[in-house]
Amino acid sequence: MPYPKIDASQLKVFPLKQRLSYLKIEKEAQDPCAPAPDAGKYNQNLDELAERIRKARRQNAAVMLAYGAHLVKNGGGPLVRALIDSGHLTHVATNGAGVIHDWEFCFQGISSEVVRENAPVGRFGAWDETGRWLNLAVLAGAAEGLGFGEAVGKLVVEDGLTLPSPEELHKKIAAAPEDELAGAWADLLWTMKKFGLRSGRHEVKHPYKKYSILAGAYERRVPLTVHPGIGYDIIANHPLFNGGAIGRSATTDARVFAQSVKNLSGGVYISVGSAIMSPQVFEKAFSAANNLRESEGLPFIRGHYIAVVDIQPGNWDWRQGEPPKNNPAFYQRFCKTFARMAGEMEYFECDNLVFVGGLAARLK
């Protein structure tokens, strides 16, 4: 017998405007035209990194940026957009929270709630618009074969989405039940029936999209992939949350990510403030990419450079190899994983805005 579970359709949600949000994008947003911030001892390292990136692009090698949600919360979206607009980034990746804060800033210019006040009273993540629009975007996008990031980027740029009719979905499933997308069509059909969602155009304005990494990547056709966990993010606390759709869209993004890694020989991978998602996703994609390259008669990925950015004390020189197990640095996964990936890895113990702002200024 299945274990008991909650009935998520009975979850109460509330208008996002009722939430006390403590970050305003117009206040937090960084100016990509500002002079490069002083990175102290890392100024020369940033100069060298900028040149590595230019060289990689001249060789048509990948330049990838993976980031955690705090880069968005700190107002770093315009800096990443500047790097995208300059043509220096070929791929951008984040976790579920990175998308949520980006979208909330787009939608009403504010984000971030007080967890310790809302969770004990059943309101943490119980915000209708965030859960409704992000879940709908993923459901509709998965039915088109889109990844998580592309689906939400499309929602932002187009200020809405279009849902097919139930009759259309019925016909598609009946005509091709073995199709790769049949499960996604069924998920969308079930959701529309369950929650009485009408077919056709659904509009939602995004007046602050100029600050959005999602919008910038979608407009420039630079892949932005999202690598979430089921139950990790606040959109799981909305009745429309569908793990099947999240899984399908995230699977698409994992494959797109691996395709970019496949082109990383001579390229650059930058990991900013992501201690778990970035190294864990990268190591699997790196192995898969090398697996495919060998099958295609290509050499393994080599000559790549990895810049890891965090604020945890870096008390080990990774150029000497891995530290012994009795050294705390051995358990810094965000360094150890990347140090094992056959390239050159450098750790920047640096504020994320100083690092990304400095890099954007050097690559204008």
Q: Classify the C-alpha dihedral 111-242-245-226 as positive or negative.
A: positive
pLDDT tens digits, residue range 140-198? 999 999 999 999 999 999 999 999 999 999 999 999 999 999 999 999 999 999 999 99
295: its two tokens: 């099958």
User: Over 80: is that where the pLDDT of 1 sits?
Assistant: no
Dist CA 35 CA 251 (whole Å):
39
What b/e readout covers 102-134, taking b as 16+ CB neighbours within 10 angstroms? bbbbbbbbbbbbeeeebeeeebbbbbbbbbbbb
Lowest mean pLDDT of 215-224, 282-291, 330-339, name the range.
330-339
Dist CA 286 CA 122 (whole Å):
40
Q: How confident is the model at residue 346 (pLDDT cuts 50, 70, 90)?
A: very high
Whether the predicted model's global pTM rises above the 0.75 cut: yes
Task: Name the residue among 127, 73, 64 with its Cα closest to residue 99.
Answer: 73
DSSP H helical ranges for 74-212? 77-85, 96-108, 115-118, 128-143, 148-158, 166-175, 182-195
pLDDT value of position 328 = 86
User: Over 90: is that where the pLDDT of 312 sits?
Assistant: no
What is the CB neighbour count within 10 angstroms for residue 42? Answer: 19
Q: Delimit the domains of the chain by residue range.
A: 25-111+209-362
Report the run of H or E that residue 64 belongs to, with start and end.
Answer: strand 63-67
pLDDT value of position 84 = 98
pLDDT tens digits, residue range 44-70? 999 999 999 999 999 999 999 999 999
User: Over 80: is that where the pLDDT of 314 sits?
Assistant: no
**SS3 label, residue 9:** helix
pLDDT tens digits, residue range 76-125? 999 999 999 999 999 999 999 999 999 999 999 999 999 999 999 999 99
Report the run of H or E that residue 322 belongs to, with start and end.
Answer: none
Q: How confident is the model at residue 316 (pLDDT cuts 50, 70, 90)?
A: confident
Between 3.40.1000, 3.30.2010, 3.30.1380, 3.40.50, what CATH number should domain 25-111+209-362 receive? 3.40.50
pLDDT tens digits, residue range 155-171? 999 999 999 999 999 99
The residues facing 306 across adjacent strands are: 269, 345
State the average pLDDT for the chain: 96
pLDDT value of position 313 = 85
Dist CA 167 CA 123 (whole Å):
36
